[in-house]
């Protein structure tokens, strides 16, 4: 799925659990240039319309994450890790772990895990702070499914990079009780190609266990932390070992994951036999994926563009558009199927020192990646829109 992957880690028998390694690219503003390296390195109130550059350009360092990568674990060359990173989240052990009653705990973690998650806000914050170590942007989608062949609470996991909707990984994640803990295993499709299209629930119900692979020693075990209102999970110390072509003794992988009502945090690392860090953030800073909400609505655009003459009234109406509020991106397409050179971005972001995020609707110039204009609303708003005469947008939170 990743166009180019430098493979240097392979499981001895089966691939370990994780949310996968991603084929990477670095980006300046909203533009993209491919970097072929495997690594892991966001009721209408009154809205303002302004001219503003969307995201400052800043080189992005690459941060690996086993939760994304252990099934096809790879090597990357870490940039210097001294950094002026913005405020970040380091995963901590539970302060007062309590066992959640079996059925209730499994139901709760399953409810929180379902949905779409994106770390767009984290990436933007890192770029604006000109950090030397910026996480790669990953979009995660977890859809509850039934797979009798493996049982438990199962999710069809789809992962993509930046604004590219094409999946780079497709997996099955299975939560089940093991004693007083919740265990997460990740199953890999032996042949992933047939699953790249639309989700086929019936085919999953008929799937055989022989069509899947799993690495039991790399399971993640969760317990509930009532003080922090989240599930805290980790691989068992020293057990998740991966064979390596570079290191004869192989490497030891560690995953630490937090699942809360509205976010999923992931911190992963790998060390050689001498304890030297091979990949992972030196300070253990996690990828922070916030749960996305979907908005739907209407777009009316003059296909002649923003510099259209008064006599050029080539209007096109796009109905039932969908975009999520954690950096969702929607390119506008004309009646003949061609791109119009503008797109929309919807995100919850902070401006300057303001501690409260705003819901922002950007109109972007695809050629430069810069915002032509944008509208602001409260982060909890259920509606947002913008009217630039040549393009008009109305969005409402989907039910």
CATH (domain of 42): 2.40.128.590
Domain edge (last residue) among 291, 316, 350 = 291
Domain presence at residue 60: yes
Confidence class for position 92, pLDDT limits 50, 70, 90: low
In-domain check, residue 302: yes
User: Helices (H), strands (E): how many in the chain?
Assistant: 4, 25
348 and 207 belong to one structural domain: no
Spatial distance between the Cα atoms of 66 and 349, rounded to a whole number of angstroms: 27
- Domain annotation covers residue 2: no
The least confident of 43-57, 147-161, 181-195, 235-249 is: 43-57
Categorize the per-residue pLDDT at 76 as very low, low, confident or very high, splitting at 50, 70 and 90: very low
- At residue 89 the predicted structure's pLDDT band, cuts being 50, 70 and 90, is low
d(C-alpha 129, C-alpha 288), whole Å? 17
Q: Does residue 14 belong to any structural domain of this protein?
A: yes
User: Which of 88-97, 113-122, 128-137 shows the highest mean pLDDT?
Assistant: 113-122
Residues 50 and 186 both lie in one domain: yes
For the chain, the maximum distance between any two Cα atoms, rounded to a whole number of angstroms, is 72
Residues 235-267: tens digit of each pLDDT: 999 899 887 777 777 899 999 999 999 999 998
Written as six digits, the tokens of 143 are 């859809």
347 CB burial (10 A radius; 0-12, 13-18, 19+) = buried
- Strand order across the beta sheet in which 391-397 lies: 315-324, 294-302, 391-397, 383-387
Number of structural domains (the chain) is 2
- Which structure tokens are listed for 177? 């009780």
| CB of 21 closer than 8 Å to CB of 11 | no
Q: In this predicted structure, what is the pLDDT of residue 395?
A: 98
Q: Concatenated DSSP letters for 86-130?
A: PS--B----SS-BPPPHHHHHHHHHHHHSEEEE-HHHHHHHHHTT
Residues 244 and 329 in one domain: no
If phi over 0 gives left and psi between -120 and 50 gives alpha, with beta otherwise, what is residue 190? alpha
pLDDT surpassing 50 at residue 126: yes
More confident residue, 157 or 6: 157
How far apart (Å, rounded) are the C-alpha atoms in residues 281 and 68?
Answer: 14
279 belongs to a structural domain: yes
259 with 369, same domain? no
Tell whether 269 and 374 lie within a shared domain: no
Q: Which of 268, 220, 292, 215 is nearest to 40 (CA)?
A: 268
Residue 24 has pLDDT above 50, yes or no: no
- Residue by residue, DSSP assigns 193-248 as GGGSSS--HHHHHT--GGGEE--GGG-EEEEEETTTTEEEEEEPTTT-EEEESS-T
Cα 55 from Cα 365, distance rounded (Å): 13
The answer on 187 and 203 residing in a single domain is: yes
In order of 113, 156, 208, the CA distances from 147 in angstroms are: 17, 10, 9
Instruction: Name residue 219's beta-bridge partners.
Output: none
311 shares its domain with 263: no
- Residue 287 token pair: 């990828």
Domain boundary among 259, 291, 323: 291
- Do 146 and 268 lie in one domain? The reply is yes
Whole-angstrom distance, CA of residue 40 vs CA of residue 161? 10
User: In the block, which residue shows the tokens 């690996």?
Assistant: 64
Q: How far apart are the first and last CA of the chain?
A: 33
Q: Which of 256, 291, 326 marks a domain boundary? A: 291
Q: Residues 222, 350: one domain? A: no
Residue 351 and residue 358: Cα distance in Å, rounded? 8
116 shares a domain with 29: yes
Q: What is the pTM of this model?
A: 0.74
Give pLDDT tens digits for 338-353: 999 999 999 999 887 7
Q: Tell me, yes or no, whether 66 and 108 share the same domain.
A: yes
Average pLDDT over every residue of 110-117? 97
Contact between 108 and 279 under an 8 Å Cβ cutoff? The reply is: no
Q: Point out which residues pair with 369 in neighbouring strands.
A: none
Residue 156 lies in a domain: yes
Residue 314, domain extent: 294-397
8 Å CB contact between 325 and 346 = yes
Where residue 3 falls among pLDDT bands split at 50, 70, 90?
Answer: very low
Min mean pLDDT across 40-49, 210-219, 337-346 is at 40-49
Residue 213 lies in a domain: yes
Same domain, 343 and 236: no
Residue at 42 is within a domain: yes
């Amino acid at each position: 799925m990743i166009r180019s992957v430098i493979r240097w880690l392979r499981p001895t028998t089966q691939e370990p659990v994780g949310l996968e390694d991603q084929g990477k690219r670095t980006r300046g503003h909203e533009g993209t240039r491919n970097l072929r390296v495997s690594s892991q390195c966001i009721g209408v109130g009154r809205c303002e319309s302004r001219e503003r550059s969307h995201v400052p350009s800043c080189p992005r360092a690459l941060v690996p994450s086993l939760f994304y990568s252990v099934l096809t674990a790879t090597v990357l060359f870490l940039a210097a890790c001294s950094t002026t990173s913005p405020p970040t989240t380091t995963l901590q052990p539970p302060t007062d772990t309590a066992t959640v009653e079996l059925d209730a705990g499994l139901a709760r973690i399953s409810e929180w895990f379902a949905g779409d998650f994106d770390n767009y806000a984290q990436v933007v914050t890192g770029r604006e702070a000109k950090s030397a170590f910026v996480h790669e942007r990953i979009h995660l989608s977890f859809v509850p499914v039934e797979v009798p062949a493996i049982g438990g609470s199962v999710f069809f996991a789809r992962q993509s990079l930046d604004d590219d909707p094409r999946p780079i990984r497709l997996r099955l994640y299975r939560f089940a009780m093991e004693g007083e803990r919740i265990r997460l295993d990740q199953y890999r499709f032996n042949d992933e190609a047939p699953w790249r299209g639309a989700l086929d629930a019936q085919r999953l119900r008929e799937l055989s266990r022989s069509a899947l692979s799993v690495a039991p020693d790399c399971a993640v075990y969760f317990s509930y932390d009532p003080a922090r209102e989240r599930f805290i999970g980790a691989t068992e110390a020293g057990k998740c070992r991966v064979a390596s072509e570079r290191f004869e003794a192989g490497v030891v992988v560690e995953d630490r994951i937090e699942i809360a009502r509205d976010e999923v945090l992931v911190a992963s690392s790998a060390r050689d036999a001498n304890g030297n860090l091979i990949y992972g953030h030196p300070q253990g800073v996690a990828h922070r994926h916030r749960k996305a909400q979907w908005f739907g609505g209407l777009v009316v655009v003059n296909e002649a563009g923003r510099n259209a003459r008064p006599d050029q009234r080539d209007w096109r109406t796009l109905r039932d558009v969908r975009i999520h509020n954690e950096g969702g991106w929607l390119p506008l397409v004309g009646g003949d199927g061609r791109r119009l050179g503008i797109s929309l971005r919807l995100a919850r972001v902070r401006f300057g020192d303001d501690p409260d995020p705003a819901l922002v609707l950007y109109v972007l110039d695809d050629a430069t990646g810069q915002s032509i204009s944008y509208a602001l609303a409260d982060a909890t708003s259920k509606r947002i829109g913008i009217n630039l005469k040549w393009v008009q947008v109305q969005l409402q939170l989907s039910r």
